[in-house]
Chains A and B, each alone.
Chain A
Amino acid sequence: MNPIVSIQNLSKVYQGGHQALKEINLEIKEGEILALLGPNGAGKTTLISTICGIVSPSSGTVTVNNHDIIKNYRESRELIGLVPQELTLGAFETVWNTINFSRGLFGKKKDDAYLEELLRELTLWDKKDNELRTLSGGMKRRVLIAKALSHQPKILFLDEPTAGVDVELRKDMWNIVRRLKESGVTIILTTHYIEEAEEIADRIGVINNGELLLIEDKKELMQKLGQKQLIVEIKEPIETLSTQLSKYSVSLSEDGSKITYTYDTRGDGTGITSLLQAINESGLSLKDMQTTQSSLEDIFVNLVHDDGGDQNQHKNSKVEKPHAH
């Protein structure tokens, strides 16, 4: 399937010289929910703003449904709804007027029935005649969502939708996101929270310092997360693994003193017992043993801290002391 959004070698250097995006390549599939994770200042908002036409790219191309965002900006922008990170709303207009304004900007005819339904879904209907400045922060965020959806976009960008949002709104929001996904809308959201990405996304991308460090299916990521490693330290280093041991998915460290076994915690049997038996039968004596597990959090923190370095640093969790044979 063709990607609905295709980003090629996209870079952005702000006036003043700060490079906020570095050669980003990314293809967003139609109908998926993509979560972009990254710390403050990573470039998430810049990326979204560029796709939506608020920031001009310095180099590279972006197409939305095969329409270039600069040459064919009308066709590309028509498909997009954007909920910005900041509560950027006017002050004196009413909720009802502001969503009608949004819809009109996108060239759509008035549709009171749809807009009423939308406001009801966001529990804003009884506020429809209130001026925007009289709304609370959470309600303003709801209004921003209503504005973004007012023209029935095919692609929805949510820039940190859960910042400053209570449980109720978060629940409403995820319900809306699920409903939109069912109706075929592609959703791209940014967040600082890994659990959020885990909960809702189909794919997860990690951005730091303007670089896309990782982009992967959540399922595959989670599978990696479900994996644990058992590291066995042996007393006398060995050159090669015995044939008996090489039957297992194990690897030997360079100095020959550690054997690492990767297993799936969710499987029926982990295979640890038989592996230990095999080690024993190979005549190796154990010095120490530990298991490690990588969480999405670790992957994230790690990626972000040494910028794409070792992706498999592990959370160390000492388990039972090995019993000497």
Chain B
Amino acid sequence: MRINFQAIKVIYKYEMLRAWKTLFQSLASPVISTALYFVVFGSAIGSRIDTIEGVSYGLFIVPGLTMLSLLTQSIANASFGIFFPKFTGSIYEVLSAPVSFFEIMVGYVGAAASKSFVLGVVILITASFFVDLKIAHPVWMATFLILTCISFSLFGFIIGLWANNFEKLQIIPLLIITPLVFLGGSFYSVSMLPPFWQTVTLFNPVLYLVSGFRWSFFEVSDVNVGLSLGMIVFFLVACLAVISWMFKTGYRLKE
């Protein structure tokens, strides 16, 4: 099989270049909001909260906060990356080029995931100014980080393909992702909830992400780490399946 590496390269490169131009906005806003969370939750409120499972509150929320930015930014980057050329019509060029849909996806999703990864690292560095951050399992931490960046960039790509106006582009992150992150144990341990709500939370996929990610830092988790990893891989594969179906049918790309 032939692969048009040159095409993947230029899609990736120009997507990264686009981010480079707006580097300040792309990094400043997540960094500032993370810092604010630390001031409000970590210092002001956190000082009145006991340690959670032996971890100080300020430290405890680091993985959840990182995930919050990672998820929203992965989705925003990837969905916008493919939506904008559809919106301007310049997508014609990609469709008429000797590129496979797979290559198109690798280019766009790869760029979005890379941006999120950088963002995740920057947020962790920011956090380290506020708390004494120690990572118990750096390799697992990186694995969770990378898998999350990729799978939510894939998810964002789906939204970008599906959306045919700006409202639709915004609605899923706003209506679904943000609540899921807040209710997924980002700022508390699930064990702090009443039993009924604990069970409900088990249906929230973000719980598995945050829990696994947190485990890689502090070795405390709400659910089994293997389950976390399994869930995230499952989500990634599900997104790939949806995308390949969309491509096969030319969904909202080709008439």
Contact = CB atoms under 8 A, between A and B. Distances in A.
Do A and B pair up? The answer is yes
Interface of A: 14-15, 49, 52-56, 73-75, 77-78, 80, 82, 84, 86, 88-93, 97, 100-109, 147
B96 A15 contact: no
Interface of B: 2, 4, 6-7, 9-11, 13-14, 17-18, 21, 84-85, 88-90, 92-100, 250, 254-255
A205 to B, nearest CB: 21
Given A55-B254, A88-B89, A105-B93, A77 B98 contact: yes
Given A56-B254, A104-B6, A107-B7, A93 B14 contact: yes
Contacts, number: 86
Nearest to B21: A92
A91 B4 contact: no
A86 B90 CA distance: 10
Give 8 closest A-B pairs by Cβ, nearest first.
Answer: A104-B10, A88-B89, A105-B97, A74-B98, A52-B96, A77-B98, A107-B6, A55-B255
- Provide the main secondary structure of the chain B interface: helix
Contacts of A107: 4, 6-7, 98
A311 to B, nearest CB: 33
B88 A90 contact: yes
A91 B88 contact: yes
Contacts of A78: 98
Contact of B7 (A14, A54, A105): A105
30 contacts: A15-B255, A55-B254, A55-B255, A56-B254, A56-B255, A73-B98, A74-B2, A74-B100, A75-B98, A77-B97, A77-B98, A82-B96, A84-B92, A90-B84, A90-B88, A92-B18, A93-B14, A93-B17, A97-B17, A100-B10, A101-B10, A101-B14, A102-B97, A104-B6, A105-B94, A105-B99, A106-B7, A106-B98, A109-B6, A147-B93
A310 B84 CA distance: 48
A13 B7 CA distance: 31
Contacts of B85: 90
A148 to B, nearest CB: 9
Given A74-B4, A104-B10, A89 B97 contact: no
A90 B81 CA distance: 11
Given A14-B255, A53-B95, A74-B4, A89 B14 contact: no
